[in-house]
Amino acid sequence: MTIKGKAYIAGAYEHPTRKAPDKSVAQLHAECAKGAIEDAGLVKDDVDGYFCAGDAPGMGGISMANYMGLKLRHIDSTDTGGSSYLVHVGHACEAIASGKCNVALITLAGRPRSEGSSGTQVRSRGTGVPEEPFEIPYGPVTVNLYAMAAMRHMYQYGTTAEQLAWVKVAASHHAQHNPNAMLREVVTVKDVLESPMVADPLHRLDCCVVSDGGGALIVVRPEIAKKLKRPLVKIIGTAEAPKHTMGGKLDLTYSGAAWSGPRAFEEAGVKQSDVKYASIYDSFTITVVMQIEDLGFCKKGEGGKFVADGNLIAGSGKFPFNTDGGGLCNNHPANRGGMTKVIEAVRQLRGEAHPAVQVKNCDIALAHGTGGSLGHRHGSATVIMERE
Amino acid sequence: MATPYQDRKLPDPVLNVGDAHYFEAAGQGKLLLKKCKDCNEVHHFPRGICPFCFSTRVDWVEAKGTGTIYTYSVTRRAGPIAYCIAYVTLDEGISVLTNIVDCDLDTVKIGQKVKLTFKKTENGTAMPMFAPA
């Protein structure tokens, strides 16, 4: 079975807030749901499938289904960190293709900025986590885990701090056009390199923002999509792949994209050169470089050269990415960037991106995410979409 | 510029059932690994089942305590004291998450030879760490 062409993204909504001290996480989820349902031209009672991840308060999706008054026949709370919502797109396609639901709602929301979260805090994932006694005392935080992946990539492939900085520079060029972006100022390679070193080799400007907010998607079966008034965004390939420390035989120079990418391309029946726009998860600058390599947009180890000299900037570069400003400049709600990756890809395919960054004739787009950490465990997910 | 190693408060490990022996041995200056009696693979962190062949015949073995730095990051803005998180590839062939200590952290390099030492957490639990050999 393939999901190719079995489902469409009919609704997409990114919450405009970047700081929401006056709203609960549940309310943010619900506001995102409302936005996506209205974007699709549907009503709440059309939703019969609901997908959410660990950012949704309560048990699985049950509390949010209760809060929103959803009447469901399918529910899925798969959590692969920030890539969850890309996984959910794939799972929604599977559920729709097998007749389990017709209109799938996917939500993400959180308020880490209001709650004082940062990427330099040691965080436990709960009780009974088998690896934590052997990790937590050493001070693993989000930034230094990605930094270790970056350090090894530099050692093995000669990737430089200047090359990493170009990822942020490109994101900032895009964010200047996004009125909702948290950081709209265009920065230079020099600005990145002169920003404070957080964890060698990652500077503050190599790191994504911490923002409140959220987003939601509506995935529907083809018959429904064709009755709606929105441009048709067909899902043609999806794949997911967890990667971990392999009992100690670890290799931090590649991500799970090396596994999910080829499978998604195979299902979609398209090549890297067919992709006109890509949303690439940008928790850190190194994340983008590694995923671009692993997805096959350049040779392994040449990601640094590939992203340098403005190649990722829409309009002038050959590989426009994250035209909303991405997690580096726009938004990283709930510390989870997968949702906004899909949303900007949908905008591009619909021709609804900001005119300054809209890719011409954007008929095929890819969204990819890494949830967790390149430094130990993560879930990778790839979604390829086509404008019909 | 130098970043001399400084002691910092280390959070205590919250042990799960089966972990106590590892930390008792650490208190006696030993780094233990788990080894599978069926496929002979060594793994870390220690589990009650071999992650390579799924045999439950896994037993403790003592590591030699020498290895090379696979990767590292001097973490400068996560608390008041800079520290060096790292993966060290042990001579037994597997890599362990750890800290590099007792040196100028600015001199740490990938490929550097290191040897086992220990630092204590707030409640006195010994954690295996590495210093330049």
Residue B115's pLDDT is: 98
Residue B1 has pLDDT above 80, yes or no: no
- Dihedral, CA of residue A292, residue A296, residue A297 and residue A302, to nearest 10: 70
Q: Does B82 touch chain A (CB under 8 A)?
A: no
- Cβ distance A212 to A180 under 8 Å? no
Strands A74-76 and A49-51: parallel
What is the span of the domain harbouring residue A270?
8-116+207-387
Q: Going edge to edge, which strands form the sheet with B58-62? A: B42-43, B32-36, B58-62
In terms of CA atoms, which chain A residue is nearest residue B73?
A200
This model of the complex carries an ipTM of: 0.98
CATH number (domain holding residue A14): 3.40.47.10
Rounded to whole angstroms, the Cα distance separating A220 from A217 reads: 10
Residue B95 has pLDDT above 80, yes or no: yes
The residues that bridge with A379 in the sheet, in sequence order, are A242, A371
In terms of CA atoms, which chain A residue is nearest residue B111?
A155
Residue at A312 is within a domain: yes
Interface test with B, best of A142, A200, A203 (most B CBs within 10 A): A200
Domains and CATH numbers, chain B: 20-132 (2.40.50.840)
Cα–Cα nearest to A293, from A228, A360, A368: A368
Q: Does B47 touch chain A (CB under 8 A)?
A: yes
Residue at A241 is within a domain: yes
The residues that bridge with A20 in the sheet, in sequence order, are none
Residue A125's pLDDT is: 87
Residue A96's pLDDT is: 98
Cα–Cα nearest to A104, from A148, A49, A54, A151: A49
Report the mean per-residue pLDDT for chain B: 97
Residue at A225 is within a domain: yes
Per-residue model confidence as pLDDT tens for chain A (388 residues): 899 999 999 999 999 999 999 999 999 999 999 999 999 999 999 999 999 999 999 999 999 999 999 999 999 999 999 999 999 999 999 999 999 999 999 999 999 999 998 889 998 888 899 999 999 999 999 999 999 999 999 999 999 999 999 999 999 999 999 999 999 999 999 999 999 999 999 999 999 999 999 999 999 999 999 999 999 999 999 999 999 999 999 999 999 999 999 999 999 999 999 999 999 999 999 999 999 999 999 999 999 999 999 999 999 999 999 999 999 999 999 999 999 999 999 999 999 999 999 999 999 999 999 999 999 999 999 999 999 9
Within 8 A of B77 by CB-CB distance, chain A residues are 120, 196-199, 204
Which residues of A lie inside 8 Å of B (Cβ-Cβ)? Answer: 120-122, 124, 127-141, 143-145, 147-152, 155, 196-202, 204, 245-250, 252, 376
Q: Does B16 touch chain A (CB under 8 A)?
A: yes
Domain count, chain A: 1
- Cβ distance B101 to B85 under 8 Å? no
φ/ψ of A29, rounded to 5, equals -55, -45
Residue A1's pLDDT is: 82
- Cβ distance B27 to B128 under 8 Å? no
Rounded to whole angstroms, the Cα distance separating A140 from A80 reads: 19
> How does residue B3 score in pLDDT terms, banded at 50, 70 and 90?
very high
Residue at A153 is within a domain: no
Within 8 A of A144 by CB-CB distance, chain B residues are 73, 75, 78, 85
Nearest by CB to residue A198, choosing from B13, B14, B77, is B77
Residue A295's pLDDT is: 98
Residue B129 has pLDDT above 80, yes or no: yes
Residue B47's pLDDT is: 98
Helix (H) and strand (E) counts for chain B?
A: 1, 8
Q: How far is A136 from chain B (nearest CA, A)?
A: 7
